[in-house]
Chains A and B, each alone.
Chain A
């Protein structure tokens, strides 16, 4: 909502200055978004006429225009607009002017070899509208203004207010003035009731059909006959220009003015184009009409339309149609002032994807009692400016507005706001805001003003009172430092632990979007369902991610392109397996590319490999409190991992939940994505699949015991078939005698010379120690032999001699 202080003064008597105004507006909840100066530079923008156009010698789409900028001065301007033609009145900006939209300063410039002195402006460049096709077209009336500044010399700034959706009344200047007056910023100017006294009959029949979900419950109108539509007088043009609107014709300007002034949208029809009478009804499916935006709309059934015998004239409260639009030669006008249901307006506009000023206002709720005021105000102005005769006002209704009343307990105010104001003050504020107040014992009986659809219960009254008395009156109550419940639950603690644990292993934490590119998602979707977003920002962000890899791989590729070679990034966040709330899992996902010890003078470089990520996963889980001796690891992994170089980890032999995957990313994916790196390995830890620790750290510290008896280490080398897993040997050995075997380490794996084909040698070191005595050679020999025998029997291995 754009206003100026000058316009506000039509409704508000005040001696205060604009600075005070800006502060006060914000203080009462009418937030000032921006203040734009109209002084100075804007005077440079002049009304001008194109007197000649020629094709640009070096560019097909450009024209070289001779522009009359007044006082017999002709400027050559290069212009690309299609509508630039001889005789067009438009707005010229000279070199030195600053274009309001782009804030760029114009200079004399050569455009494809032809010097251009200034520029012809489009409406959007001047912030007059969003119209950016072609240059501004001014009406004939501006001819006498050639050479003069287009913008009036108003000193009033353009104040842009952000009006919250609960306050339709403040979409009119008067509503803003009323709020300001209530807050002590001046006095609201009383407007006398200027009723039309007419004996002329209203000869056009209007009917509202009584239908289910009728979107219009009152339709007021009057006829104005024998008018001469013209350009608006200067005061009206200046008023509209002062808030950045473009004058069109007196009738259109007047309806706009009334709408902006008291938030009463009106619509003017050319009465001669209406066949017989007006019928307000629900649309039938398939009906069509051409709206004033020159677009053709095909309607669904049940939309509120204004129609005549021939068909649809317009969409009530949203947009009129071209068939009944007023023009400069319009003689007889039907002026409409109606009430449309916000719900109906919103439904229709949404279905047709239409957004208009009237729609914006009606969907927030127009004062249902402003129908007559609007007609009176506009009709009188039309008569003043365009002449003609006004008929009696006709109001068709299918529902009568009932005033809303509530009882307000003044004690509630302090209970909610925490501070006190006197009853007298409360009554004054409410009356200034337009409430009727009656004292009823300990309560106030309030009649809610018809322009306040947002007020329906006591707490709304509290809000009005706090708002107008000032939020600065609310006290600061210091919070109490007391905790009755632990801040984080176990799951949240684990989340934080895993996050920092992975980061401590050299990974940079990334946060990427929860949606991703379908193409990338498909690489890592595995067997999960694709979840589409119906209205994505772009097709590259069209699905919810089924895996974090899709985003990480994209970004790791971008970083490789930036010239980084060795990268480790991770993210902890949601992946989705369904479109219902809760069908998501939290995953810690890491990706590592390139080499370790690249270009090191001291260490030999090597590619990152599956055992790097295996360490990261295992170490992270161990740090988080899980016992690695119980881990079960096999090689069944989803199809985006290298089938031979990846693993699946269970926390224990119940194998009911997959705790993690890790491994090389499948080479096919690298090929498709065209990633250039020596090696790419990754892991995923599934948080929901990790059993939460049942014990506290205190319980986990069991009795401390150790053995001081001598340890012995014995090395074994077994020859086994290639399929035999190292873990099988380890498990077999540890089962030989758990009380004596303290540690088992694989220190060499060898295939090749001296080893039969399809076999390999695994060398294992076993630490043997008793907690009761020192073992002698005999004991050791016994356990040695037992280890060899058991391993040979159970795994088919042969000890290497």
Chain B
């Protein structure tokens, strides 16, 4: 038997046994180390007779490859055993809690404002704003509510000076005045924001939110007003149909004026909007009074249009089943958490208001 065959047999039999990694490494070095058996054989190639040299070299290479493959597979086998043993040891209780996280929320009023803006955006309204502190002129006089007008009694006003010239705006309507004084018609705006009345009980809060709407152009009539509000209410409550009632009312800054009721019923203690035989007042509106247009230098013989004012908090209460208005501003952590919205739930035109 040749040397080569001997080496092969010997080491094949060695490698067939149970070995640990250091024994394998020993074998590796015995064979392929500097003076290893295979290495030594390679050095011998030059001394072999020319006629046999080729065969010898070829045999040697085959044996080398075979041994190397065997060693590799043995090593891999050992490594996978080792990993499996490790895995066996590394079992954890996956029901233990994850690392802590906190979740922030957006206030329902903010969410509702974004919903409203998104709906009106679709039909071409843009958003305007005005300051919380107003002068008496913008809040009342320019809106056709002169001093000594009993309509002022409907607004319990907070004043900031004894002369009653500076006040906290009682409605968002002064934004109409500011917008129309600033630009030229046509106007198509909504103006959400904080409003204030010195009224405080179960159903009134001294601060609340309104959204004003104003659309002035040539030939805008009450039909446009009705269509616009009907569209808004359907979209807002995410309903295909809504029972809605326009009835006459009075606001000094609109003529004719209307209040809008929507139908509702109570089912299993929950309010269902859009049907039923009960009526719920949700907004006031009307055709902008010619006196208001004159006050802001818009020619009422050329331009006309409508305005509306909606209570945002009220809408949020109806849509999301919130019973208590005062809770909106009470900052109770539990309430904010319950009624707040995930900041990623941004109402948009393409994805809609809801998930």
Contacts and interface: CB of A to CB of B under 8 A. Distances in A.
Given A496-B114, A514-B194, A559-B332, A471 B129 contact: no
A583 B133 CA distance: 8
B100 A508 contact: no
Contacts of B243: none
A485 B126 contact: yes
B227 A478 contact: yes
B99 A559 contact: no
A436 B206 CA distance: 46
Contacts of A463: 248, 255-257
Nearest to A458: B290
B330 to A, nearest CB: 8
A537 B121 contact: no
Interface stretch (B41-49, B54-62, B65-73, B145-153): B145-153
A472 B246 contact: yes
A602 interface: yes
Interface string B120-138: 1111111101011111001
A651 interface: no
Interface stretch (B10-18, B19-27, B31-39, B155-163): B155-163
A298 to B, nearest CB: 20
Contacts of B250: 29, 164-167
Interface in B328-342: 328-334, 336-337, 340
A417 B161 CA distance: 41
A504 interface: yes
A509 B106 contact: yes
Given A347-B148, A503-B105, A512-B329, A416 B256 contact: yes
A581 interface: yes
Contact of B104 (A509, A514, A600): A509
B223 A476 contact: yes
B194 A573 contact: yes
A113 interface: no
Contact of B248 (A28, A492, A509, A597): A28
B331 A555 contact: yes
B160 A531 contact: yes
Contacts of B99: 600, 602-603
A601 B344 CA distance: 29
Given A487-B127, A603-B100, A477 B224 contact: yes
Interface string A530-541: 011111110001
Interface string A565-581: 00111000110100111
B333 A581 contact: no
Nearest to A509: B107
B206 A541 contact: yes
A582 interface: yes
A438 B287 CA distance: 27
B15 to A, nearest CB: 42
B256 A165 contact: no
Contacts of B109: 511
Contacts of B198: 535-537
B222 A417 contact: yes
B256 A500 contact: no
Given A463-B256, A471-B247, A504-B343, A534 B161 contact: yes
Interface in B165-210: 166, 168, 188, 194, 196, 198, 200, 206-207
Contacts of B329: 511-513
A96 interface: no
A510 B107 CA distance: 6
A401 interface: no
A568 B331 contact: no
Contact of B328 (A489, A511, A533, A562): A511
B255 A513 contact: no
B100 A600 contact: yes
A601 B132 contact: no
A746 to B, nearest CB: 25
Nearest to A570: B104
Contacts of B314: none
B160 A534 contact: yes
B266 interface: no
B247 A31 contact: yes
Contacts of B304: 415-416
Contacts of A601: 96-97
A17 interface: no
B230 interface: yes
B80 interface: no
A488 B166 contact: no
A167 B101 CA distance: 60
Contacts of B107: 509-511
A462 interface: yes
Interface in A646-680: none
A27 B121 contact: no
Nearest to A583: B133
A533 B340 contact: no
B110 A31 contact: no
Nearest to B288: A459
A487 B125 contact: yes
A418 B222 contact: yes
Given A462-B256, A536-B158, A510 B331 contact: yes
B164 to A, nearest CB: 8
A16 interface: no
A541 B125 CA distance: 36
Interface string A418-431: 11000000000000
Given A415-B219, A459-B290, A488-B117, A482 B124 contact: yes
Interface string A135-167: 000000000000000000000000000001111
A564 B134 CA distance: 39
A164 B249 contact: yes
Interface string A277-296: 00000000000000000000
A581 B139 CA distance: 11
Interface string A453-481: 00001011011001100011011111111
Pick from B117, B134, B250, B331 the residue with the most CB of A within 10 Å. B331
Contact of A537 (B101, B138, B206): B206
A439 interface: no
Nearest to B200: A537
A200 interface: no
Contacts of B125: 487
A718 interface: no
B159 A533 contact: yes
A507 B337 CA distance: 10
A576 B188 CA distance: 29
A584 interface: yes
Contacts of A576: 132-133
A415 B303 CA distance: 11
A643 interface: no
A499 interface: yes
Contacts of B196: 514
Contact of B110 (A476, A480, A509): A509
A501 B248 CA distance: 44
B126 A569 contact: no
Given A165-B150, A457-B290, A579-B166, A29 B224 contact: no
B318 interface: no
B102 interface: yes
B346 interface: yes
A536 to B, nearest CB: 7
A728 to B, nearest CB: 34
Nearest to B98: A602
A615 interface: no
9 contacts: A165-B150, A416-B222, A506-B101, A506-B104, A531-B160, A534-B164, A567-B333, A581-B138, A584-B131
Interface of A: 26-29, 31, 164-167, 342-343, 346-347, 363-364, 415-419, 457, 459-460, 462-463, 466-467, 471-472, 474-489, 492, 496, 499-515, 531-537, 541, 544, 551-552, 555, 558-559, 562, 564, 567-569, 573-574, 576, 579-584, 596-597, 600-603
Give the top 7 A-B pairs by smallest Cβ distance, nearest first: A29-B248, A506-B102, A418-B223, A164-B250, A555-B331, A418-B221, A463-B256
